[in-house]
Amino acid sequence: MKANPLTLSEIFQAPARYTVPTFQRPYVWTQEEQWEPLWIDVRDIAERFIEYFELSGVQGGAIDPGEQPRHFLGAIVLQQQEVRSGSLPTREVIDGQQRLTTLQILLDAAQEEYVSLDRDAAERLQDLVFNRPAFAGKNADHQFKIWPTLNDRDAFRHAMRNELPTGEYDESLIVQCHDFFRAQIREWVAKYPETQTERADALEQTLREFLRVVVIDLEDGDDAQAIFETLNDRGTPLRPFNLAKNFILHEVPGGAKEQDRVYATHMKELETLWWRTEVGSGRLRRPRNDAYLNYWLTMRTREEVSTRSLFTDFQKYAVSTANIESIAEDLGSTGPLYRRLEELKDGSRLGVFLTRWRQLQAAVFTPLLLHLLSSEHTEPTVNRCLDALESYLVRRMACRMTTKDYQEVSRGLLKRLHERGTESADEVVIEHLKRQTAAGMKWPSDDDLAEAFHTLPLYKLLTRGRLRLILEGVEHGLRTPKSERSQVASNLTIEHVMPQHWREHWDPPTSVDESDPAATRDRVIHTMGNLTLVTRKLNPALSNSRWAKKREGIDDHSTLFLNKDLLKNARKDWAENEIAKRAQRLATAAIRVWPGPDDI
């Protein structure tokens, strides 16, 4: 390798083309993390340049070499490409493409502003941004000295060409970066109108001569792939998906054209904004395409894939696969299924399952769902698999059973399904879950579920979303074939029939079978038998009211079967006995919605 510190003029003045290979990630730098710090550096150097001439009394001319402000912006790694005689000298950007692209955008933003400030300066800057037509030839895109990855080319083209509108690319970070630097340059140059010419000149000199980048040219024998995998850009370390994409495209035979074809056909969509958005919670946040790669690889290997070793595990799997393009094709075709898991919210069986599954936060079963949806199973077979999995998860949640072994359950199902192929997947899922007898994996029985409804203070133990999931399911279980099939409104709230603060408005318990009837009541008021759903407006109106008033309010305003059942079976009184009887009725309805393995 040869390393040289060069100014932007030295890098960009001569006709040249710096191409970013398709296997690299799109442009990801942002204002807060990179553009603003870069602009502050540039602005400070320009102001020091002005200050030097003011203090020295020198008007124009060259600055003393010993006093020249210099600022190093990091390194880029380039690899010379073979081109035909007479063609533009071309180098591939192995590392530092975010930095190099940003500097080109900054230069072009300045060039656009200088068109109205100083046309000579605008022309000088244009030579740092565009190759002249005589060198570019017939391909219009060869005018650009930087040529980004496939995903960014349209936005880059519109940002860099003064006459092209950028409205349709407002979400592009490249366009946003260009707009940011134009606004900063315009504001800084015009800050003091009486010295506008001097400030414009100082900024041009700064951009051309005082910013330096260490350019590392690879020589024959240097392993560009290994270097790319070990280097990171400023503030934005390479992520597993970036490295996996790089590996795939690097292994595609046929050169850059084949890489572009494979990327455009199979992988381009996986680098759009939705896929690059970080998901998760707290410090455990990562881009969606990283999460997807983890789930996809788990689905294909049927083994645990650690986040820390994700790329290493992917690389091992890819090396064992005969056709590298088949991996890109598989990733691309399964991607829309993953997005469907994240977004589908309709009333279909899959939509209802996914809405509940998200509330259960059972993402560990994502590889299993991807397998079921990407394989050639019939819709009834898939739906029966969903019925079994939902029953298993909801029952265990209601019975307050641990989730720590769910990863083992999911991998076990994947292995069994792989062994059986597409044959009877529903029977495989039901049988496998049924055979789990250990406490960490058991499928709760009807009696277990009924016991949980009777005894567990689920209002205290479950999140409101999960408790509402159960109550909504029970609502559907109480409906008959003759009932209207409408969705339960999404804005309903959970109401205690007997209020939590019952001592203020309700008569004390009179049971002679309990040593502490008040304590018993405090416990049972948080069980399922005492909970229902009402509208947000009705909830405060009922509040701590006595039973007669609550009964009237519910009767007047609620159409839910949950509440029709409540009123039908407790017209006169509401106390511990009624709560226990209702818990059994709700449990029976829940068992219809989430049946055990023998009834699915």
Q: Is the pTM of this model over 0.85?
A: no
- With H, G, I as helix, E, B as strand and everything else as coil, classify residue 423: coil
Smallest CA-to-CA distance from 450 within 421, 486, 474 is with 474
CA distances from 543 to 371, 466, 546, 554 (A): 47, 22, 9, 12
Q: Where are the domains of the chain?
A: 2-231, 239-343, 367-444, 450-593
User: Based on C-alpha coordinates, what's the Rg of the chain?
Assistant: 33
Q: Using CA atoms, how far apart are residues 196 and 189, in angstroms rounded to an integer?
A: 6
- With H, G, I as helix, E, B as strand and everything else as coil, classify residue 537: coil
- Per residue of the chain (600 residues), give pLDDT as tens: 677 889 999 999 999 999 998 877 889 999 988 999 899 989 989 988 887 766 655 555 555 544 556 678 888 999 888 767 667 889 999 889 999 999 999 999 999 999 988 999 999 999 999 998 888 878 889 999 999 998 899 999 999 998 788 778 888 999 999 999 999 999 999 888 888 999 999 999 999 999 999 898 887 656 665 665 555 444 456 689 988 998 899 889 988 889 999 999 999 999 999 999 998 865 678 999 999 999 999 999 999 998 888 998 999 999 888 899 999 999 999 999 999 999 999 889 999 999 999 999 999 999 999 999 998 889 999 999 999 999 999 999 999 999 989 999 999 999 999 998 777 999 999 999 999 988 889 999 999 999 999 999 999 999 999 999 999 999 998 987 666 666 677 778 899 999 888 887 788 887 656 678 888 888 899 999 999 998 887 766 677 778 888 888 888 888 899 999 999 888 788 888 999 999 999 999 999 999 999 999
**CA dihedral (545, 546, 551, 556) positive or negative:** negative
The β-bridge relationship of strands 90-95 and 71-80 is antiparallel
